[in-house]
Amino acid sequence: MFEDILTFDDYNFDGKTVIIRLDLNTPIDPKTGEFLEERRLKSHKDTLQELIDNNAKVVCMAHQGRAGEADFTTLEKHAKRLSEILNHEVTYIEDIFGVYARNSIKNLGEGEVILLENVRFYSEEETERPPDVQATTFLVKKLAPLADVFVNDAFGTAHRSQPSTVGFTQVLTSLAGRLMEKELRALTDVLKNPKKPLTFVLGGVKVNDSIKIIKTALSNEVSQILVGGLLGNVFLAAKGYRIGDPSIEVIRGKKYTDQIPLAKELLDQYEDKIVLPVDVALNENGERVEIPVGELPQNYKIEDVGQKTVEKYISIIKKSGTVFANGALGVYENPKFAKGTEMIINAVSECKGYSVIGGGDTVAAARNLNLEDKITHVSTGGKASIDFLAGTKLAAIEALKGSKR
Ligand code: 3PG
Ligand code: MG
């Protein structure tokens, strides 16, 4: 891996201006604006400390949320928290590439750190195009001439081919940051040399993303995939189970109806490798009621996997050489329906082989249960970690490999 990607070991930062892409995207309480957890904010600490210690002039670039969503906001609080975490001033610059941002970069002293405004405030950022095209965007054209080197430490955003993740690699020497390096080392270990069987436990609500990667995963090294959450419901419907109107309505509301035939194709091709829930927990007027999938009443919503499913999944996890879990198996926010996710995470942490988790709810569950230390690698990536382990190439990693030297 590191024959073709430069790291901090390959560069002398002394006095150099560094543009670094971080992933600071953090769950935010829509009412109070407070951070709900701080994992990503803390994850770049070693990288930034090393740049400071080596007298670099540090320009941080990051995003928060997406336009139109409740957590789409400025990075002012992120800068404040980063300053506290580093015990070193990180100055918030309310600009991305205008005169104020560019002057702030020109005036940086050695060891000083600034954080530019949310790069997604600029509309070209959310387009996904190849690196050579992203190199011609305003962001890159305005900022790259002020810097000596580009660092990508944003593993969580490495699946995105956006100006801030791939554009600079075409015009500046580009390095993987320490967090990026750590993620790639840990995940490459799993990918290149997985102790078999390799099991994925996939849940969550991003059904279209998951369906796409299941095919890649099963045609590569993955032995079996255990499904739950909304993804599980889509597979149950694809298998012909009548999952009930409220659950069908959720699938329709999220515009995933077209994923049901795709799930069916996968089941036809990989019948024995995709493992479905055998029972589920319904939300019957606020109460948890567990029912086998063949006997579901039609008027309640499925909100978790049932006990029999949990037992079945645990026995597969126990026999796995490597297990990767991403996405909640139920409505994790509701304690009555968090049980499936929690029991599965517990089993993952007890797996004798290599265990990896990624994604917001999965990692939150591990933290709440105090299990983070018992898991081999807790990734800062959600989609990025699934894609990587499924065998899909990540745009920003490929861009680092093909970067200007
Ligand atoms: C994430 O949280 O998944 C990353 O920060 C990437 O964000 P995105 O899914 O909005 O591109
Ligand atoms: Mg996301």
List the pLDDT tens digit at each of the 405 positions of the chain: 688 999 999 999 999 999 999 999 999 988 899 998 999 999 999 999 999 999 999 999 999 999 998 899 999 999 999 999 999 999 999 999 999 999 999 999 999 999 999 999 999 999 999 999 999 999 999 999 999 999 999 999 999 999 999 999 999 999 999 999 999 999 998 888 889 999 999 998 889 989 988 989 998 889 999 999 999 999 999 999 999 999 999 999 999 999 999 999 999 999 899 999 999 999 999 999 999 999 999 999 999 999 999 999 999 999 999 999 999 999 998 999 999 999 999 999 999 999 999 988 899 999 999 999 999 999 999 999 999 998 899 999 999 999 988
50's enclosing H/E stretch is helix 45-53
Angle between helices 229-238 and 259-270 (to 10 degrees): 70
CA angle 64/66/70 to nearest 5° reads: 85
CB 62 within 8 A of CB 157: no
Tell me which DSSP letter residue 257 carries: T
SS3 of residue 147 by DSSP = coil
* Closest-approaching ligand to the CA atom of 155: 1
* CA–CA separation, 349 and 339 (whole Å): 15
Cα 135 → chain centroid: 24
Backbone angles phi, psi at 21, to 5 degrees: -90, 120
Neighbours of 70 (CB within 10 A): 10
| Ligand 1 nearest-atom number relative to CA 66 | 10
- Ligand 2 midpoint to CA 64 (Å): 10
As given in the structure block, the two tokens for residue 33 are: 């604006």
4: exposed, middle or buried (C-beta count within 10 Å: 0-12, 13-18, 19+)? Answer: exposed
* CA–CA separation, 335 and 354 (whole Å): 28
User: Which amino acid appears at position 391 of this protein?
Assistant: G
CA angle 213/218/223 to nearest 5° reads: 130
DSSP string computed for 293-307: GGG--SSSEEEEE-H
CB 290 within 8 A of CB 173: no
* Closest-approaching ligand to the CA atom of 386: 1
Neighbours of 62 (CB within 10 A): 28
Backbone angles phi, psi at 336, to 5 degrees: -70, -20
* CA–CA separation, 393 and 93 (whole Å): 33
At residue 1, the pLDDT reads 61
Cα 296 → chain centroid: 33
At residue 187, the pLDDT reads 93
- Residue among 390, 359, 370, 361 at smallest CA distance from 155: 359
Cα 295 → chain centroid: 35
| Alpha carbon nearest to ligand 1 atom 7, residue | 157
* Closest-approaching ligand to the CA atom of 157: 1
CB 194 within 8 A of CB 169: no
| Alpha carbon nearest to ligand 1 atom 6, residue | 157
Residues 6+ apart with CB under 8 A from 285: none
105's enclosing H/E stretch is helix 99-106
Cα 264 → chain centroid: 26
Cis ω before 261 (30° cut-off from 0) = no
- Ligand 1 midpoint to CA 286 (Å): 32
Cα 246 → chain centroid: 29
- Ligand 2 midpoint to CA 296 (Å): 32
> Token match 């499925």: residue?
302
- Ligand 2 midpoint to CA 291 (Å): 32
User: Which amino acid appears at position 378 of this protein?
Assistant: V
* CA–CA separation, 309 and 110 (whole Å): 56
- Ligand 1 interacting residues, C-beta cut-off 6 A: 23, 25, 66, 156-157, 160, 382-383
pTM: 0.91
- Ligand 2 midpoint to CA 248 (Å): 24
